[in-house]
Amino acid sequence: MTIALPARAKLNLDLEVIKRRDDGYHDLRSTMQTIDLHDLLLIAKADATELTVSGLTLGNNDNSVLQAHQALERATRRNLPASFHLHKRIPPGSGMGGASSDAAAALRGLQALFGLEIDIAHVAQDIGSDVPFFLHGGRALVEGRGERVQPLPAPEPMWFAIAWPGIELSTRDVYAAWDQVKGEAPNHLRAAAERVEPRLLEFAKRLGGGWQLTGSGSAFFKAVQTEQEAREAVKGLDGWTAVSRAAG
């Protein structure tokens, strides 16, 4: 049996950094929304664990699917040999949570495939800040390091124009820059991201008004009411663009 799971991207409709914690991480408050743009993860039982990848090139970090697999093996104290194929559509280092969503999909898929009676929410917290949110998706208020997730009512039909400058940003570097420059609504990390990568300033200037950064960057989005408005917003833009809608 092979399980196929969409690993959806997310947008931060707002993002407030509260403070830097004593452990070096940061507390935040953010309204997150999953969208129908997604990676696709295929999982099947196997004699030995392996991962193949197609689509967009992954970033430099160790793959989060294998990290989730290893974390679940440690938590259950058993071997869970599985074959993974990941088709990447979410740009890496874009602030749309691709790696975290892939990890959450791996946890959900492995739990179903092996019939595991375990609370994967606890495992998710140890993998990455956004992974607990992606276990459920939809719209939610996310607080703390990302471990406190409060589901919110589904929005009215909402479309998004998305533009990515092809720049992969390090979340760690952006938060370190926030310690110096702070930020303001709607996304407290934008000034920090522009300090880490000054080319974002020129990219944002080309986009024009109404666009905002998602997560720690580097993708920008514009919320609109219709698909046609979203398509008009990305028309004529160079580089990677997408039109997507809010998804549960």
- 182 assigned to active site: no
What angle in degrees, to the nearest 10, is found between the helix axes of 98-114 and 64-76? 40
C-beta of residue 14 within 8 angstroms of C-beta of residue 187: yes
The residue extents of the domains of the chain are: 2-151, 159-245
Distance CA 84, CA 34 (A): 23
Q: Do domains 2-151 and 159-245 have the same CATH topology?
A: no
Does residue 10 sit in helix, strand or coil?
A: strand
The fold of the 159-245 domain, in CATH, is Alpha-Beta Plaits (3.30.70)
List the catalytic residue out of 10, 88, 102, 222.
10
List the catalytic residue out of 88, 102, 130, 222.
130
Amino acid at 181: V
Instruction: From first to last of the 248 residues of the chain, give the pLDDT tens digit.
Output: 999 999 999 999 999 999 999 998 999 999 999 999 999 999 999 999 999 999 998 765 569 999 999 999 999 999 999 999 999 999 999 999 999 999 999 999 999 999 999 999 999 999 999 999 999 999 999 999 999 999 999 878 799 999 999 999 999 999 999 999 999 999 999 999 999 999 999 999 999 999 999 999 999 999 999 999 999 999 999 999 999 999 98
> For 2-151, CATH number?
3.30.230.10
User: What long-range pairs does 206-210 form, CB within 8 A, spacing at least 24?
Assistant: 206/237, 207/163, 207/237
C-beta of residue 204 within 8 angstroms of C-beta of residue 219: no
- 45 assigned to active site: no
